[in-house]
Structure 1
Amino acid sequence: MKKGPNLLFIFCVGFFLSGMTACKQTPGTQQADEVMPDTVSYNFNIRPIFSDKCFKCHGPDANKREAGLRLDLPEEAFKALRDNPKSHALIAGNPSLSEVYLRVTSDDSTMMMPPPSSNLKRLTGFETDLIKKWIKQGAKYEKHWAFIAPKKAPLPKVKETAWPKNEIDYFVLGNLEKKGIAPNEEADKERLLKRVSLDLTGLPPTLALMDKFLADNSPNAYEKVVDQLMKQPAYGEKMALHWLDVARYADSHGYQDDNYRSAWPWRDWVIHAFNNNYTYDKFITWQLAGDLMPNYNKEQLLATGFNRNHKMTEEGGVIDEEYRISYVADRTNTFGKGLIGMTLECATCHDHKYDPLSQKEYYQMFAFFNQVNEKGIVSVVGGPETYAKKPMMEVTNADIKGILNFVNKQDSNKLIVSIMGDTSRKTFLLKRGVYDAHGDEVEAGTPKAILPYPASYPKNRLGLAKWLLDKQNPLTARVFVNQQWQELFGRGIVKTAGDFGMQGDLPKNAALLDWLSVDFRDHGWDIKRLIKQMVMSATYRQSAVISPEKLKMDPENELLSYSSRARLTAELVRDMVLATSGLLNKNIGGPSVNPYQPPGLWEMASSGRGQLATYKQVHGPGLYRRGMYTLIKRTVPPASMGIFDASNRDQCEVRRLRTNTPLQALVMMNDPTVLEASRVLAANLMADKTPLNSKITKAFRMVVCRKPNEKELSVLTSYYQDELKSTNSKTADKLLSVGEFPMPDNLDKIKLAAMMKVVAALYNLEETIVKT
């Protein structure tokens, strides 16, 4: 067997297997060194036990409740038992008389809880001790932690006072020291630069930036790099990428016909807003209610496209009101999941089974978004006027020269965008969630358990934005801070970023989340300040090396004792390949494009009507645009990006899952973009009048973002020599024919093909597409 292909196979298998190691999660892992708290908290110690082991039979679901006992409400839990009025589930201060404690510690199969027939695991000794201590301390129930307005706690006292760089580190180090764990040392400069460059711009650092940073030994060298990266236009693109998932942005309407949608000017606005550091209160208010602001302008109108990114139908014969109601529900649910971290949709048909949200309150929230002057279906597949749905606005050439100068309009064609615009419409509770089963009429309002709606606020979306940004609202700042933390650290402080309710995960460092949330709000909702605060912390700068002890004690890095390794998102995998090869088209904004794609995918899933019935690949510079500009057709999303877990934007998504499959390795080995990038970078290297070792070292630095060690350089050099001997003109021509970018005529094709194989091997390294 030839050594060259064998080496490439090893590289690719290494990419796949090590990716599995890097991203694998261990759900349900219990800490081996549980420490009994001085004061037992219902929210953080008891309720998780009840939720896992008790609420199935003694929780909010009346249909499954046994013995008439509810343990989720104190007024119910302290009542005399229905089947034994002389006994009580809980007696404050007295575990020995509390049936809850007696049952969970009993060995009698007729008495023990959970009963053997429930298939639920028995409580551990530590869990029963927690319940015992909680009862002794008065069995005090608490309002759900996420519904209590956050407050700034004092910074924890720490022993290693030299480690913290800012306030974040005191909270992290305080937790680590309680567990007897030391944080990692700071990552080396090369890996740290790669990490922060990818996190702030979505692009790897250039060789010039690497050299400059490595040569800068000043105390603020890292801060200078952070400031430089945040000033780049690519910063706005990287920040916008997550928001496009939240806003369920796509370039098609969805459903059967799934025709083209001209929503991209709204995407241009999002990039513009992040690059100009619009404060979060402004960013959100304009998107929710720009059309309701006094003396609103066209930019504020464009921002409201956020609310119109949901799927829409163009099919004849559908029931108009049924689809209109689905649009309103989508806007309501997106508000819940994306902005306040609540599963509002669970109350569509009945009261929420876990959170204090009634069905009536759901439709009160629904009422804010039910006034849009729209129809369920307003057209069938047709010309440009159907690319946006009423209410809509035209982006004129005069706008492009004036207030909308950030919109990258590239031709003189008519450009129309869907926006918000209200009429007057009554809202009714819908029985069982059925669109035409009207119950009682409701007025706009918000869940009382979160924050009652102030009478002074108008009952429209502008009032809702004020409610959202009210200092007493416990969720808004927490949810946004958590999402940004997730984007930088790999997981949120609350892992379930879209569910801060009763069934969501508890925050792993509640004091840190609350401190950051209050600090963010009190400093004017300044997004760039928040992001810089996070990346400047010693916590963020840690090495990603995991010792066996830390892997055992903190396998999911919940304590942040090291830097989490995370594979790049789908769009950034593409961006990395294009940027390092020199192919990247850095043009900001504009219409989405169709890069290389396997033939026939759209045609197999198309109704045969409309602009998107057949796939029309773009040519020229458009082929090399960033991943965020790849056209998303909802019914057939981009194949290679889907393999890397990109969202198809059917609905609001606040956290992407990361999977590891052999298909990902096959994409990196065979995707035309990767192969073309390998060829182009190889050609650039071969044009350099430098020794072979220098060429390979340069390629390694550009792709992997660090200098290779001697062994790595030796392996790659040997691989090049082996490929040089085994490649003939025919195989070289076939290999070099991939991609449309022109190939220089003055290069030796055999040598170029061999170097292309080396670059392709580098792209297939696990380290290349993982933040380390």
Structure 2
Amino acid sequence: MKKETFFLTFVVAGMLTYLQACKGSSTPTEEELPDEISYNFDIRPILSDKCLACHGPDANKRQAGLRLDDPVSAFAALKENPSAHALVAGKPSMSEVFLRITTKDTSKVMPPKESNLTLSPREVSLIERWIEQGAKYEKHWAFVAPKKAALPEVDNEKWVKNEIDYFVLQKQEQKGLTPNDEADKERLLKRVSLDLVGLPPTLKTMEGFLADNSPNAYEKVVDELLKNPSYGEKMAIYWLDLARYADSHGYQDDGYRTQWPWRDWVIHALNKNMPYDQFVTWQLAGDYLPSPANDPENKEHLLATGFNRNHKITEEGGVIPEEYRISYVTDRNDLFGKAFLGLTMECAHCHDHKYDPFSQKDYYQLFAFFNNVNEVGIESVIGGPETYAKKPLMQISNQDVKSILKFINKPDTNGLIVSVMTDLDTVRKTHILRRGSYDAPGDVVEPNAPNIILPFNKNYPKNRLGLAKWLFDKKNPLTARVFVNQIWQEFFGKGIVKTTGDFGMQGELPSNPALLDWLAVDLMEHNWNIKRLVKQIVMSATYRQSAVVSPEKLAADPDNIYLARAPRYRIHAEFVRDVVLSSSGLLVRTIGGPSVKPYQPPGLWEGATSGRGLLSMYVQDHGNQLYRRGMYTLIKRTVPPPMLTIFDASTRDMCEVKRLRTNTPLQALIMLNDPTVLEASRVLAAKLLEEKSATKEKITKAFRLIVCRKPTENEVEILESYYQKELKKLNPTRAEKALAVGEYPIPVQMDKVQLAALMRIVNTIYNLEETLMKT
């Protein structure tokens, strides 16, 4: 080919590519738009992102007196031009909304130029067609009670294991995707074990599952894991994040607190499969429940209410008591909205919500339910045991632990106190706080729930027990959806609604609305049974898929929205520690009890607080306390445990329903240098050296214990070659230095060079990406 011809061909090809790109960014064709435009799924997201800041629920920020989230306002004559209307059903050319988003006049175009917001051609076309079709409004999807749709028809019924799969497969088939095959037994066992108990399977469990060829082999494993006491520990982690559990009060003094008996109760409740409605009602209003026959003082109900006393509490002198008391009530109110309703109620603290239909009055009516607690803003000063809990509180005696509260792991005979919820005998007035300021009280309001969600039943008491009844009313559109979504997130890495804490106008739309609603209704129909829901999820073909991703699937669905493969992501921070301790044999499996202080770099606490109280200096624990599960590591709010923080654990400052997931070099450095990881490597290496087996067998066993599968021949060869190199490189002095980590004793008469060499092999396996990944 001549140069001129090649150049011309290149130019033409480039022009065609450019024209194709231009075509792709032009006004969408008829085929690209839905036949029937949905306000909820097509129009409302556009309005929420581009319009409602100025034309939404917030009356103080509203422009031109126009609300586009309200059809009454949107169809009414415009205040500034009575002859015009924002929307005229069926007539885009007469609708000011359409005229203003398509005008070339920069002084009139909407959104205004100074907002730096623009509508894409597709968004403009969607609005045009919506108006043509009558501009029909719909109640926000999350405020409509869920309905249990019939199972959808699918082509590949043989793949389906349970109802979940019908909904997932339907979406996949609509998008031209096909599901992955089931994961191999080893990877599936590791996945379900990490998901249900937060620990890797034992070699005995691996061998048993691999040898069991019965049709229900997997279900037998699932049932055993659900009965395992470690299930409650694993499932409690997400609840501790949500409840902002910590072992210190927060703020500058950050004194010690004893809320861990409440954590013991959570583990106990989850293990005995307490129904979700009861689980939450006890925590919201246990002090209002009648006393059980075997508990005349109502102590277990009362202990459960520690949930709403986990928030930060100041002990600093010179503060304004009412300011901090209001902040405590605000914390409880915001948690209720985020954790149970999946709504950003906190946005209405100072003014009407800008996007969701909640007024500031709605916020303070809900606030009133939590405003009657018999507490003060500042109590005592940092000091002795009397400050470990703040009034109102309950005392737990040794007799209580022997009888009513047997699930509490109380290791000594000292007195134990826990902060709980009890209300005043008289009703404290609740005011709307102007601009949200504690010292600017406005109108008095009564306790009430947002009507837009569900009117508060007049037969319910106007206290926290009545609020719990409202929350679990079968007509409440949010409670079951929000909980199901949180549990789904625990197993798939993200919820069906990606914005777990925001089901409002600014939140993401559900990726599979029919599945979300089916699961929500099914949960309610089966008495809010948590373990049943969990088993449904892990027994599904959707969950059991391989995590292998082809280039085609990665291109078609990079975020795995349609679940045509199993998700692949790193396990939570606490479970990183648990995997290391469990696989090495160091893990102490005692459940519950006070939090512990394992290895930590020196000097972190000393410069971070006022220098008063038990937590002014870090005094490391010893013995078995060094080898407890990650969930029992003491959390000091001002200086959270560094290993957990680096792996994205919650600081527990506030309610958190979804952890961030980052990848930083610090995570690799932890696995390479953390004393717990190095000590576990040494201990496992010593156990392997004590066995009468060949080097390859030792490496294979270490690999299986840690990665939970049999290594390939190539992997064993690489690790064995590394071991031989380390044997040659190490001498007794260097070996002693490498082994000088951790407090667990080294077996006497053991060859230190061999131990140090094998320790490095084990540490290498701990540093494999696959070790900490759920695949």
For Structure 1 versus Structure 2, the TM-score category normalised by the shorter chain is over 0.9
Alignment of 1:630-709 (within 5 A): 630-709=633-712
Q: Is there any run of 5+ residues in structure 2 with no aligned partner, and where?
A: 1-27, 293-297
Which residue in 1 is equivalent to 2:251?
255
Which residue in 2 is equivalent to 1:769?
772
2:251 alignment partner AA: Y
Q: How many angstroms does 1:68 deviate by?
A: 4.4
Equivalent residue for 1:203, pick from 180, 199, 206? 199
1:531 aligns with 2:527: no
Q: Are residues 64 and 383 of structure 1, via their aligned partners in 2, closer, same or farther at CA, if it must alter by over 3 Å?
A: closer
Q: TM-score, normalization: structure 1?
A: 0.94
Which residue in 2 is equivalent to 1:22?
none
Which residue in 1 is equivalent to 2:495?
492
Answer yes or no: is the 8 Å Cα contact 1:647–1:656 preserved in 2: yes
Which residue in 1 is equivalent to 2:19?
none
1:420 aligns with 2:421: yes
Equivalent residue for 2:734, pick from 709, 731, 735? 731
Which residue in 1 is equivalent to 2:358?
357
CA distance in 2, matches of 1:592, 1:34: 60
CA distance in 2, matches of 1:137, 1:435: 48
Q: How many angstroms does 1:379 deviate by?
A: 1.1
Answer yes or no: is the 8 Å Cα contact 1:53–1:123 preserved in 2: no
Q: How many angstroms does 1:378 deviate by?
A: 1.7
Which residue in 1 is equivalent to 2:237?
241
Alignment of 1:327-726 (within 5 A): 327-423=328-424, 424=426, 425-726=428-729
Which residue in 2 is equivalent to 1:47?
44
1:511 alignment partner AA: A
Q: Matched residues, percent identical?
A: 69
Q: Deviations over 1:163-183 (max 9, x none)?
A: 111111111111111111111
Answer yes or no: is the 8 Å Cα contact 1:151–1:514 preserved in 2: yes
Answer yes or no: is the 8 Å Cα contact 2:181–2:545 preserved in 1: yes
Q: How many angstroms does 1:396 deviate by?
A: 0.7
Q: How many angstroms does 1:67 deviate by?
A: 4.6
* Matched residues, number: 741
Does the residue aligned with 2:605 lie in a helix, a strand or coil? helix
CA distance in 1, matches of 2:189, 2:607: 44
Equivalent residue for 2:67, pick from 64, 70, 80? 70
Structure 1 range deviating more: 392-401 or 261-270: 392-401
1:315 aligns with 2:316: yes
Does the residue aligned with 1:602 lie in a helix, a strand or coil? coil
Which residue in 2 is equivalent to 1:190?
186
Answer yes or no: is the 8 Å Cα contact 2:287–2:421 preserved in 1: yes
Q: How many angstroms does 1:69 deviate by?
A: 3.7
Q: How many angstroms does 1:64 deviate by?
A: 5.1
Which residue in 2 is equivalent to 1:36?
33
CA distance in 2, matches of 1:639, 1:515: 41
Which residue in 2 is equivalent to 1:5?
none
Which residue in 2 is equivalent to 1:170?
166
Answer yes or no: is the 8 Å Cα contact 2:309–2:421 preserved in 1: yes
Answer yes or no: is the 8 Å Cα contact 2:58–2:359 preserved in 1: no
Q: Deviations over 1:738-763 (max 9, x none)?
A: 00000111221111111111111111
Answer yes or no: is the 8 Å Cα contact 1:104–1:123 preserved in 2: no
Answer yes or no: is the 8 Å Cα contact 2:57–2:359 preserved in 1: no
Q: How many angstroms does 1:70 deviate by?
A: 3.1
Q: How many angstroms does 1:79 deviate by?
A: 2.6
CA distance in 1, matches of 2:110, 2:325: 47
Structure 1 range deviating more: 668-677 or 294-303: 294-303
Q: How many angstroms does 1:103 deviate by?
A: 4.1
CA distance in 2, matches of 1:121, 1:190: 50
Q: Deviations over 1:127-160 (max 9, x none)?
A: 3332233222211111111111111111111111
CA distance in 1, matches of 2:604, 2:699: 37
Q: Deviations over 1:36-63 (max 9, x none)?
A: 3332210111111222233344334455
Q: How many angstroms does 1:256 deviate by?
A: 1.2
2:453 alignment partner AA: I
CA distance in 1, matches of 2:392, 2:110: 57
CA distance in 2, matches of 1:34, 1:397: 72
2:485 alignment partner AA: N
RMSD of aligned Cα (Å): 1.7
Q: Deviations over 1:259-288 (max 9, x none)?
A: 110000000000000000000111011101
CA distance in 2, matches of 1:186, 1:75: 52
Q: Are residues 161 and 195 of structure 1, via their aligned partners in 2, closer, same or farther at CA, if it must alter by over 3 Å?
A: same
1:380 alignment partner AA: V
Does the residue aligned with 2:606 lie in a helix, a strand or coil? helix
Q: Deviations over 1:217-272 (max 9, x none)?
A: 11111111100111111000001110000100000011111111000000000000
Q: Is there any run of 5+ residues in structure 1 with no aligned partner, and where?
A: 1-30
Which residue in 1 is equivalent to 2:209?
213
Answer yes or no: is the 8 Å Cα contact 1:496–1:505 preserved in 2: yes
Which residue in 2 is equivalent to 1:232?
228
Q: How many angstroms does 1:35 deviate by?
A: 5.3
Q: Are residues 375 and 34 of structure 1, via their aligned partners in 2, closer, same or farther at CA, if it must alter by over 3 Å?
A: farther
Does the residue aligned with 1:484 lie in a helix, a strand or coil? helix
CA distance in 2, matches of 1:295, 1:744: 54
Answer yes or no: is the 8 Å Cα contact 1:32–1:553 preserved in 2: no
Q: How many angstroms does 1:83 deviate by?
A: 5.0
1:87 alignment partner AA: A
CA distance in 1, matches of 2:734, 2:92: 79
Q: How many angstroms does 1:498 deviate by?
A: 0.9
Does the residue aligned with 1:87 lie in a helix, a strand or coil? strand
Q: Are residues 396 and 710 of structure 1, via their aligned partners in 2, closer, same or farther at CA, if it must alter by over 3 Å?
A: same
Q: Deviations over 1:701-743 (max 9, x none)?
A: 1111111112111111111111111111111101111000001
Q: How many angstroms does 1:34 deviate by?
A: 8.8
Q: How many angstroms does 1:443 deviate by?
A: 1.1
Answer yes or no: is the 8 Å Cα contact 1:286–1:304 preserved in 2: yes
CA distance in 2, matches of 1:269, 1:169: 34
Does the residue aligned with 1:631 lie in a helix, a strand or coil? coil
Which residue in 1 is equivalent to 2:116?
119
Answer yes or no: is the 8 Å Cα contact 2:58–2:351 preserved in 1: no
1:87 aligns with 2:117: no
Which residue in 1 is equivalent to 2:219?
223
CA distance in 2, matches of 1:328, 1:58: 31
Answer yes or no: is the 8 Å Cα contact 2:481–2:516 preserved in 1: yes
1:149 aligns with 2:145: yes
Structure 1 range deviating more: 222-231 or 32-41: 32-41
Q: Deviations over 1:490-520 (max 9, x none)?
A: 0001111111111111111111101000000
1:134 aligns with 2:130: yes
Q: Are residues 531 and 383 of structure 1, via their aligned partners in 2, closer, same or farther at CA, if it must alter by over 3 Å?
A: same
CA distance in 1, matches of 2:92, 2:613: 69
Q: How many angstroms does 1:116 deviate by?
A: 4.6
Q: Deviations over 1:98-128 (max 9, x none)?
A: 3333444455656654455432243133x33
Answer yes or no: is the 8 Å Cα contact 2:332–2:370 preserved in 1: yes
Answer yes or no: is the 8 Å Cα contact 2:547–2:565 preserved in 1: yes
Q: How many angstroms does 1:550 deviate by?
A: 1.6
Answer yes or no: is the 8 Å Cα contact 2:58–2:353 preserved in 1: no
1:374 alignment partner AA: E
Q: Deviations over 1:669-717 (max 9, x none)?
A: 1000000000001111111111111111111111111111121111111
Answer yes or no: is the 8 Å Cα contact 2:263–2:592 preserved in 1: yes
